[in-house]
Copies of this chain bind each other. A is one copy, B any other.
Amino acid sequence: MPLNLEKICVEAGVKLTTPRKVILKILEESQDHPSVEELYKRASDVDSSISMATVYRTVSLLHEMDILIRHDFNESFSRYELNDEHHDHLIDIDSGEIVEFHNEKLEALKEKIAHDMGYDLMDHRLELYAKKRK
């Protein structure tokens, strides 16, 4: 079930402008973790009049709406991905490749740790930096 971002925006009362439609479509089709720069490139290929500022504003808006997750994989810029079903990330140190994974034991353990410390877990971030085994 591919999620319909335009529908979500309309229901949230967000105005559907031309640049936004282009960016939403790109996000729906993206299987990776693009930076704003990369999103801007992809958007420009569709409509060259779209500005960097609009990409930044749209991405911020979607992040606030909880539609996008912002990542900082120890780089000088942010990457974004759709807030689809939850997963964590393994970053291949050598190739830069980002591999998604999900582990139920890990999820349960994170909850338990926070709980045992007297907290309710609201969000978390787990990244494994690794090298492919030879």
Contacts and interface: CB of A to CB of B under 8 A. Distances in A.
Interface of A: 72, 74, 90, 92-93, 99, 101, 103, 105-106, 109-110, 113-115, 117-133
**Chain copies in the assembled complex:** 2
A101 B110 CA distance: 12
Given A119-B131, A125-B125, 20 more contacts: A72-B74, A90-B113, A92-B119, A93-B122, A93-B123, A101-B113, A101-B117, A106-B109, A106-B113, A110-B128, A115-B133, A118-B132, A119-B128, A119-B130, A120-B132, A122-B130, A122-B131, A123-B129, A124-B127, A126-B126
A120 B130 contact: yes
A81 to B, nearest CB: 16
Contacts of A120: 130-133
A112 to B, nearest CB: 9
Contact of A129 (B122, B129, B130): B122
A69 to B, nearest CB: 11
A77 B130 CA distance: 25
